[in-house]
Amino acid sequence: MDTQIARVREFLLNLQDNIIKALEHQEQTGGVDGGSETKFIADIWERPEGGGGRSCVFSGGQVIEKAGVMFSHIHINQMPASATTRHPQLAGAKAQALGVSLVIHPKNPYVPTSHANVRLFVATPTDGGEPIWWFGGGFDLTPFYPSLDDVKHWHKVAYELCQPFGDDIYDKYKTWCDEYFYLKHRGECRGVGGLFYDDVNTASTGWDFETCFAFMQAVGQGYIDGIVPIFENNKHRAYGERERHFQLYRRGRYVEYNLVYDRGTLFGLQSNGRTESILVSMPPLAAWEYRYEPTAGTPEFELTDFYLKPKDWLAL
C-alpha cells in the first residue's frame, strides 16, 4: 500500500501546483479594477501525530478576495467519530488521510464561489487485518448572480469526466452532491451542485485501486477545466454596492453550511486537525440580515427561485 500512497501523494502535490497556477493567472490578467501580481503564500506545517501539509493562501486581490488551496497528508492515531459512524469496524483504528481541498472566494459577485476536494483514506484495522482504503471528493459551484451557460458548462465538464467510468456515474454523484450540499434549516441548496462522492473503493464500485485513483485524477483536472472559463466570462463585469451587499449576504449561507454540516470541517476538528487550515474555507467578509426577502423578478430573487433547486442542467 505504501507505493500507492506515494503515487497519490505525488499527484496531489502536482494538482495543488496546477490549480494555484491557474488561479494566479486569473488574478494577473485582471478584473474590473485590473489584476495584481500577488501570489499564493505557502505555509508548510507538521502535525504532532505525524505527517503535515502545505497550505497555500491568497487574499486581497482584485479578482480573488480570498482563496485557500490546501494539501495535507496526516497520520491519525484514532479514527474520529465523523469517520467511524460510517465505518464502525474502524473504531480505534489508525489511519492516514491525504488530499487537496480548496475554496475560492472571488471579489466580483458575478464570479461564483467554488469548492473542490479529492482525498484518500487508508485505515489499519485494530485486528491487524489488511488496510481498508477509500477515495472521496468532488467539486461544487456557489453562484450569486448565475449564468445559465456557466452552470451548464460546469455540469458538462462533470458529465464528460464521468463518462469513461460508466453511464450512471454522473447522475449518481450529481444527485449525491445536490443532496449533500443542502441547508436543511434554510430549505435550499448551497449552490448549483456538481459532483460529490465518498467511500469509493472496490467493495462499493467494483473498481480496482487504479480505476478509483484515475477517477480522483479526472475530478481534480475537471475542477480546473470547469472553473477557468467561468472566471474568464465574468471577472471583468461591472458591479456596484447592491451586488456586493447581496454577495456578502449569500456568503453567510456558506458559513452556516460549513460550520453545521460539512464532513470535512467536522472530520478536521474531531481529528485535532490544524484549525487555521480547516477554517480557511471561511470567506473574508459575510453578512446576515433579518428576514431579508428579495423582490420578485430581480436577479436576487431568481437565485433562490430557480437556481438553488436541483435540475437536470444539461437538458435545459
Q: Which residues are catalytic?
A: 115
Q: Is 75 annotated as a binding residue?
A: no
Q: For residue 79, what are the CA distances in angstroms to 88, 122, 162?
A: 10, 11, 30
* Rounded Cα gap, residues 156 and 38, in angstroms: 32
Please name the residues in contact with 265: beta carbons below 8 A apart, sequence gap of 6 or more.
258, 259, 278, 279, 281
Q: Is 57 annotated as a binding residue?
A: no
Q: Is 122 annotated as a binding residue?
A: no
Backbone phi, then psi, for 158, in 5-degree steps? -60, -45
Reading the block at residue 195, the C-alpha cell is 459532483
What is the rounded end-to-end Cα distance, in angstroms, of the chain? 44
Q: Is 236 annotated as a binding residue?
A: no
Question: What's CA 193's distance to the chain center, in Å?
Answer: 11
Q: Is 115 annotated as a binding residue?
A: yes
* Rounded Cα gap, residues 99 and 53, in angstroms: 9
* Rounded Cα gap, residues 233 and 191, in angstroms: 19
* Rounded Cα gap, residues 265 and 281, in angstroms: 9
The H-or-E segment that residue 136 falls in is strand 132-142
Sort 275 into a burial class: Cβ within 10 Å, 0-12 / 13-18 / 19+. Answer: exposed
Q: Angle at which helices 2-28 and 209-234 pack, to 10 degrees? A: 10
* Rounded Cα gap, residues 291 and 295, in angstroms: 13
Q: Is 190 annotated as a binding residue?
A: no
* Rounded Cα gap, residues 268 and 287, in angstroms: 25
Best CA proximity match to 39, nearest among 54, 19, 59? 59
Q: Is 25 annotated as a binding residue?
A: no
List, as residue ranges, the binding site for substrate.
101, 117-119
Annotated binding site, which residues? Answer: 101, 105, 115, 117-119, 155, 185
Q: Binding site for a divalent metal cation: what residues are annotated?
A: 105, 115, 155, 185
